[in-house]
Structure 1
Amino acid sequence: MSCKALMRFTIVTSVISLVFFGFVIFVRCDTIPFAGINADYDGTGQLGNLTAPCNSHCRCSSSLYSAICGRDHIGYFSPCFAGCIQSKIIQDHKAYYNCSCIQEGLTTADDQGDFIDARPGTCDAKCYKLPLFIAFIFSTILFSVFSGVPNTLTILRFYHKNKGKLLKDPTGDSEVIKVSQIVSDNQRSLALGLALVFLRIFGTIPGPIVFKMTADISCIFRETEYCGDKGNCWIYNKMKMAYLLVGICCICKVVTIFFTAIAFCLCKYLPKDNSEILHMPVKNPTVKKKRKN
Structure 2
Amino acid sequence: MFLVALSFAYFAKALSGSYMKSTITQLERRFDIPSYLTGVIDGSFEIGNLLVIAFVSYFGAKLHRPKIIAMGCVLMAVGTFIIALPHFLIGRYKFETSIRSSVNSTNNLSPCPARLLSPSSQASVGCEGESNLSMWIYVFLGNVLRGIGETPVQPLGISYIDDFAREENAAFYIGCVQTIAVIGPVFGYLLGSLCAKIYVDIGFVNMESITISPGDARWVGAWWLGYLIAGVITLLSAIPFWFLPRSLPIPSDRGPAQCTPERTSFIKDPPLLEHKYQADEPAGFLEMAKDFIPTLKTLLGNPVYFIYLCVTIIQLNSLIGMVTYKPKYIEQHYGQSASKANFLMGTINIPAVALGIFTGGLLMKRLKLSIMGAAKFAFGTSLIGYFLSLFFFVMSCENIKVALIYGFHMTGQGVGGVSYEERSVFSACNSDCVCSGRDWDPVCGENGITYVSPCLAGCQTSTGLGKNTVFSNCSCVVAAGMSSGNLTASVGHCPHRDNCDRVFPYFLALSVITSFIISLGGTPGYMVLIRCIKPQLKSLALGFHTLSTRTLAGIPAPIYFGAVIDTTCLKWGQKRCGGRGACRIYNTTAYR
Please give the residue correspondences for 1:66-81 in structure 2 after superposition, counting only pairs within 5 Å.
66-81=441-456
Quote the offset at 1:34 in angstroms: 0.8
Equivalent residues of 2:444, 2:451 under 8 A apart: yes
* Counterpart residue number, 1:94: 469
Specify the structure having the higher radius of gyration (Cα): 1
Q: Does 1:192 align with 2:534?
A: no
Q: String of CA shifts for 1:155-184, please: whole Å, max 9, x gaps.
A: 233xxxxxxxxxxxxxxxxxxxxxxxx222
Q: String of CA shifts for 1:42-62, please: whole Å, max 9, x gaps.
A: 349986321222213312124
* Residue 90 to residue 195, structure 1, CA distance change in 2 (3 Å): closer
Q: Of 120, 128, 131, which aligns to 2:491?
A: 120
* Residue 32 to residue 92, structure 1, CA distance change in 2 (3 Å): closer
Q: Distance in 2 between matches of 1:147 and 1:51?
A: 55
Q: Distance in 2 between matches of 1:44 and 1:145?
A: 48
Letter in 2 for 1:119: S
RMSD over aligned Cα atoms = 2.6
* Counterpart residue number, 2:433: 58
Equivalent residues of 1:58, 1:83 under 8 A apart: yes
Letter in 1 for 2:534: S
Q: Distance in 2 between matches of 1:12 and 1:56?
A: 62
* Counterpart residue number, 2:387: 19
TM-score, normalised to structure 2's length?
A: 0.33
* Residue 57 to residue 116, structure 1, CA distance change in 2 (3 Å): closer
Q: Distance in 2 between matches of 1:44 and 1:17?
A: 43
Higher helix share: 2
Equivalent residues of 1:44, 1:52 under 8 A apart: no
Equivalent residues of 2:441, 2:454 under 8 A apart: yes
Q: String of CA shifts for 1:60-80, please: whole Å, max 9, x gaps.
A: 124432211112211111111
Equivalent residues of 2:398, 2:588 under 8 A apart: no
Q: Distance in 1 between matches of 2:467 and 2:399?
A: 29
Q: Distance in 2 between matches of 1:226 and 1:81?
A: 20
TM-score, normalised to structure 1's length?
A: 0.65
Equivalent residues of 1:87, 1:94 under 8 A apart: yes
Q: String of CA shifts for 1:200-221, please: whole Å, max 9, x gaps.
A: 1122212221222122111122
SS in 2 for 1:57: coil
Please give the residue correspondences for 1:213-224 in structure 2 after superposition, counting only pairs within 5 Å.
213-224=563-574
Q: Distance in 1 between matches of 2:466 and 2:400?
A: 27
* Counterpart residue number, 1:9: 377
Q: Distance in 2 between matches of 1:43 and 1:224?
A: 28
Q: Does 1:141 align with 2:515?
A: yes
SS in 1 for 2:461: strand
* Counterpart residue number, 1:176: none
Q: Distance in 2 between matches of 1:156 and 1:209?
A: 30
Q: Distance in 2 between matches of 1:228 and 1:53?
A: 28
Q: Distance in 1 between matches of 2:441 and 2:380?
A: 48
SS in 2 for 1:234: strand
| Paired-residue identity, % | 29
The gaps in structure 1 that reach 5 residues or longer are 109-114, 158-181, 243-293
